[in-house]
Amino acid sequence: MASRAYTPRDIEAKRYECFDWDGEWLGAFGNPSMDSRWGIQGISASGKSSFAMQLSKKLCEYGPTVYLSYEEGVSKEFQRRLQYLHMGETQGRFSVVTDETVEEVSERLSRKKSPRFVIVDSFQVGCELYGWSYERAVELMRLFPQKGFVFILQEDKGQPLGKPAKRLKYIVDMKVRVAGYKAYCQGRSAGEPGNYYVVWEEGVLMTSNNL
């Protein structure tokens, strides 16, 4: 059977549930739809992990969020990040999983009252250890079109590390690069030109002053 072909009228009639962000979030990222797919890349110690956690906290305002902490697990540093970002305020809406395979994640998302948002940190470790791949990521997003997916991508020489992650970057809606504790959006729903999200103000000052 042939797939459905959409007319311009069909497309114009579609309605999307969007984030009603304001302030710094609106300025940097606009008001993307809640089912957007995010790809967040950056080198180590750039503020990427802190931004991922800040985004997770923001997403919890709109629905239950599961954080697949493949890379760090629940290490001391992960615990510290949760504490200084006051993630305890998200109790009941935020959960952390460290070792689920992509098949188990799919099963989790199939349940009633399942998470609305999924953070995969990092996609590369998921590919190495938990059965993720570019194809499986695409399949999961198609199976659950109402859910938002955020993929944290390790970076090498300004690009996501590895072919699967590079391919994934091309299909996500929100392309975010974190550098010098600033998150720059290069996605399809970017905010105001030239704006960025400040992940850590003191880190920005230290970076600016080459300290």
Predicted confidence at residue 200, as pLDDT, reads 77
Q: Pick the range with the lowest mean pLDDT from 27-36, 86-95, 179-188, 190-199.
A: 190-199
Task: Report pTM.
Answer: 0.91
Residue with token string 């993307």 = 32
Q: Distance between CA atoms of 25 and 58, rounded to whole angstroms?
A: 9
- Residues paired with 132 in a beta bridge: none
* Euclidean distance between the first and the last CA atom of the chain, given in angstroms as a whole number: 61
Q: Distance between CA atoms of 169 and 187, rounded to whole angstroms?
A: 10
Q: Pick the range with the lowest mean pLDDT from 57-66, 152-161, 179-188, 200-209.
A: 200-209
Residue 211 has pLDDT above 50, yes or no: no
Q: Could you tell me the CA-to-CA distances from 191 to 25, 62, 101 in Å, in that order?
A: 8, 20, 34
Q: Distance between CA atoms of 90 and 165, rounded to whole angstroms?
A: 29
Predicted confidence at residue 202, as pLDDT, reads 65
Chain mean pLDDT for the chain: 90
Predicted confidence at residue 4, as pLDDT, reads 77
Q: Pick the range with the lowest mean pLDDT from 4-18, 59-73, 168-182, 190-204.
A: 190-204
Residue 79 has pLDDT above 70, yes or no: yes
The whole-angstrom distance between residue 128's C-alpha and the CA centroid of its chain comes to 19
CA dihedral 175, 107, 74, 32 (to 10 degrees): 20
Predicted confidence at residue 18, as pLDDT, reads 92
Residue 189 has pLDDT above 80, yes or no: no
Residue with more model confidence, 195 or 87: 87
Per-residue pLDDT of 117-171, as tens digits, reads 999 999 999 999 999 999 999 999 999 999 999 999 999 998 999 999 999 999 9
Residue 203 has pLDDT above 70, yes or no: no
Extended strands (E) in the chain: 37-42, 65-69, 94-97, 117-121, 148-156, 159-160, 174-179, 182-185, 197-198
